[in-house]
Chain A
Amino acid sequence: MKRFPALFFLSLALVFCLFSCTRNDLKIETYQTEKQPVVSNESMTQQMMSPQGGMPEQVSAPASQEPSAYGWDIPKGWGSEPGSSMRLVSFKADGHTGSIIVLEGEAGGLVANVNRWREQVGLPAQDEAAVLKAARKGKSALGEFRWFEIVNDSSPGQSMLVAVVPADGKTLFVKLMAPKAALQKNQEKFLSLCRSLRRA
């Protein structure tokens, strides 16, 4: 009984330690699960060269109930599907696919992105002055944006309309890939979509 105080406080310390241990996250667990599909880094590298500003084309997480920070109006006659956290929306213009992607920062910069898109349609890279000269400007509730019509006349089957919309330290990319004739037909609707961009 002489040691009662020491034992009592020792017990309290032990409870304290046990409690701390339950919140310890330095655990290592090993277990078996059912197989999940794996997409390798190599295929990802291929996908990263997609014109969406870097994110893979084929892999799209289902839309979440979380509201997007941005809003837009899909033009009449176009279809749309919800996107993932970075792909805000996918849309269909006369059967041709487009999307609105949001990435942090400048996502590599305007010139690098434009040259990457040019490379995809078989056009040579341009310097900054030429890129800025080719840019046309529009305005949405998010501010001024630049848009590009990237067409290789010797191969007009894969052309694209792209708008680069800086907002809140991020960059929104609105992109529609289609043959040149389809792009021209849908150009006004594409621009109305870009102009409708706003904060939700």
Chain B
Amino acid sequence: MIPLPEKAKKYVLFLAKTEIFTFAVFWLMCLTVAGTLAQRSMGLFRAQELFFSSFIYWVGYIPLPGGYTTMGVIFIGLLIKLLFDSTLKNGKLGIWITHVGALLLLLGGFLTAAFSQEGAMVIPPNQTVNFVNDYHKLELAVTDTSPADHDQVTAFGAGWLKPGSVMKAPVLPFEIEVVRYFKNVRFDRRNGMIAAAPDLRGFAANFELRGAPEAKEAEQNQAGALLRIRGAGAGKDGTYALFEEMPVRQTLEANGKTYALDLRRARTILPFKLHLIQFEKKMHPGTGMAKSYKSVVTLQDGGISQRALIQMNEPLRHRGYTFYQSSFIEHPAGDTTVLAVVKNAGRTFPYISSIIMCIGLLVHLMIQAPKLIRNRQGE
């Protein structure tokens, strides 16, 4: 136990009160039940965001602690108890070890929530890919396609995608204002009898974007945005419409360069590349259901090239990233492989903490067992 100054004691130990810990655990159970039930109606991702990946959970105008706050209170309570208000005397070693295990479990959860990355890598046949598409987060990418040997990308994170946001970057000769943003979009062809506004460019001149009801599962939504470009020059300034998976990119020219605009899933650029050599799938006989599928890839990292096989339950691990065979896309020209990519700094914590907690309980049992036997004999 670390000694505390008297003045600090009452403040610090307040956070380690058993009552607070008990209520927090009870509240976490309530959140778990509510979140599990809610995912049926609102979908997994939204339920997770609302109940667990939030500091505050609003019920109307009433703020209630969300998952992060609740787990934070539990973690701080346990930590303070362990550091300032526990002792190893009287055979408490086992309990102390178990608490350390529980703390590590919560710490792993924190690392996962704060730093983990999840997404998909889609590799068409004989193609090389070095980026991962996030499952949920979006970005607005402005790509200067003028250089002969590469594309210069400026990507604005999802936080910019709200009406009124103005995006600027030193490498861009224009600024982009978000006029409207839709989490899910539909579009209707503009009726030819009604003249479109003169500043509408590209797709926006022919189609009108409208908000659509959000799908239950967040991945099924197709986000869209109306963007106003300023500073690109006469005839190029104006309002552009973008939506996810647009079949043809919207482009504009400014300062003699061509820029492509994309609203897409946020990309994480990897320090290495994967090249798909071959994708193989086996189907259950007489059905369209996949029995097994695997990807043969070449991992290219710096000057090193290494062949690897990725198949169900046999992921590829490299530089903290894990690539799982997740799905595939059929195409007459050759199947495209879809790999689920995970980078999780807290990946090993559940295993380590479970082992530590088991050891703690075992130690506690070994310390307490002689006492129990003695008591039984005494009876």
- CB within 8 Å of B: which residues of A? 1-2, 4-5, 8-9, 12, 16, 19, 22-36, 38-41, 43-45, 47-48, 53-56, 59-65, 81-82, 84-86, 103-109, 112-113, 116
The answer to whether B151 touches A34, judged by C-beta atoms less than 8 angstroms apart, is: yes
Chain B contacts with A in 1-50, Cβ cutoff 8 A: 4-5, 7-8, 11-12
Is B207's CB within 8 Å of the partner chain A?
yes
Shortest C-beta distance, A86 to chain B (Å), equals: 8
- Please, which residue of chain B has its CB at the minimum distance from the CB of A41? B202
The answer to whether A32 touches B145, judged by C-beta atoms less than 8 angstroms apart, is: no
A8-B8, A56-B247, A56-B248 as given contacts; A30 in contact with B110, CB under 8 Å:
no
CA distance A54 to B187 in the complex (A): 10
A63-B331, A65-B328, A105-B188 as given contacts; A30 in contact with B202, CB under 8 Å:
no
CA distance A106 to B12 in the complex (A): 64
Q: How many residues of chain B have a CB within 8 Å of chain A? A: 71
User: Among the listed B114, B159, B329, which residue makes an inter-chain contact with A65, where contact means beta carbons less than 8 Å apart?
Assistant: B329
The answer to whether B247 touches A26, judged by C-beta atoms less than 8 angstroms apart, is: no
The answer to whether B248 touches A63, judged by C-beta atoms less than 8 angstroms apart, is: no
What A residues does B338 contact at CB under 8 A?
Answer: 65
Is B157's CB within 8 Å of the partner chain A?
yes
CA distance A55 to B192 in the complex (A): 16
What B residues does A8 contact at CB under 8 A?
Answer: 8, 11-12
The answer to whether A36 touches B169, judged by C-beta atoms less than 8 angstroms apart, is: no
The answer to whether B159 touches A26, judged by C-beta atoms less than 8 angstroms apart, is: yes
A38-B249, A38-B260 as given contacts; A22 in contact with B115, CB under 8 Å:
yes
List 19 interface pairs A-B (beta carbons < 8 Å), by A numbering: A1-B5, A4-B5, A5-B7, A5-B12, A16-B72, A28-B155, A29-B153, A31-B155, A33-B150, A35-B151, A36-B151, A38-B249, A38-B260, A41-B201, A44-B248, A47-B248, A48-B206, A65-B330, A105-B188
User: Among the listed A16, A32, A59, which residue makes an inter-chain contact with B152, where contact means beta carbons less than 8 Å apart?
Assistant: A32
Q: Known A-B contacts: A26-B157, A27-B156. Give 5 more (CB < 8 A).
A: A28-B155, A32-B150, A55-B247, A56-B247, A61-B245
A8-B8, A28-B169, A105-B186 as given contacts; A33 in contact with B191, CB under 8 Å:
no
- CB within 8 Å of A: which residues of B? 4-5, 7-8, 11-12, 68, 72, 76, 110, 113-115, 124, 128, 130-131, 137, 143, 145, 149-160, 167, 169, 171, 186-193, 201-203, 205-207, 210, 212, 222, 245, 247-252, 258, 260, 266, 269, 327-332, 336, 338
- Please, which residue of chain A has its CB at the minimum distance from the CB of B253? A40
CA distance A109 to B86 in the complex (A): 74
The answer to whether B189 touches A1, judged by C-beta atoms less than 8 angstroms apart, is: no
The answer to whether B189 touches A63, judged by C-beta atoms less than 8 angstroms apart, is: no
- Please, which residue of chain B has its CB at the minimum distance from the CB of A27? B157
- Please, which residue of chain B has its CB at the minimum distance from the CB of A115? B192
The answer to whether A112 touches B330, judged by C-beta atoms less than 8 angstroms apart, is: no
The answer to whether B329 touches A63, judged by C-beta atoms less than 8 angstroms apart, is: yes
The answer to whether A43 touches B248, judged by C-beta atoms less than 8 angstroms apart, is: yes
What A residues does B154 contact at CB under 8 A?
Answer: 28-30
What B residues does A108 contact at CB under 8 A?
Answer: 188-191
What B residues does A109 contact at CB under 8 A?
Answer: 191
What B residues does A55 contact at CB under 8 A?
Answer: 247
User: Among the listed B76, B114, B151, B201, which residue makes an inter-chain contact with A12, where contact means beta carbons less than 8 Å apart?
Assistant: B76
Interface centre among B8, B149, B205 (most CB of A within 10 A): B8
Shortest C-beta distance, B239 to chain A (Å), equals: 13
User: Among the listed A28, A35, A112, which residue makes an inter-chain contact with B157, where contact means beta carbons less than 8 Å apart?
Assistant: A28
The answer to whether A31 touches B153, judged by C-beta atoms less than 8 angstroms apart, is: yes
Shortest C-beta distance, A112 to chain B (Å), equals: 6
A41-B202, A65-B329 as given contacts; A24 in contact with B159, CB under 8 Å:
yes
- Please, which residue of chain B has its CB at the minimum distance from the CB of A85? B245
User: Among the listed A26, A30, A43, which residue makes an inter-chain contact with B171, where contact means beta carbons less than 8 Å apart?
Assistant: A30
What A residues does B137 contact at CB under 8 A?
Answer: 25
CA distance A82 to B330 in the complex (A): 8
What B residues does A35 contact at CB under 8 A?
Answer: 145, 149-151
Shortest C-beta distance, A200 to chain B (Å), equals: 13
What B residues does A9 contact at CB under 8 A?
Answer: 11
The answer to whether A29 touches B155, judged by C-beta atoms less than 8 angstroms apart, is: yes
- Please, which residue of chain B has its CB at the minimum distance from the CB of A62? B331
What A residues does B327 contact at CB under 8 A?
Answer: 65
CA distance A79 to B212 in the complex (A): 34
User: Among the listed A16, A23, A39, which residue makes an inter-chain contact with B248, where contact means beta carbons less than 8 Å apart?
Assistant: A39
Shortest C-beta distance, B196 to chain A (Å), equals: 12
What B residues does A44 contact at CB under 8 A?
Answer: 202-203, 248
Shortest C-beta distance, B128 to chain A (Å), equals: 8
CA distance A9 to B15 in the complex (A): 11
The answer to whether A59 touches B247, judged by C-beta atoms less than 8 angstroms apart, is: yes
CA distance A65 to B260 in the complex (A): 28
A-B pairs with the 5 shortest C-beta distances? A108-B189, A104-B186, A25-B159, A26-B159, A25-B157
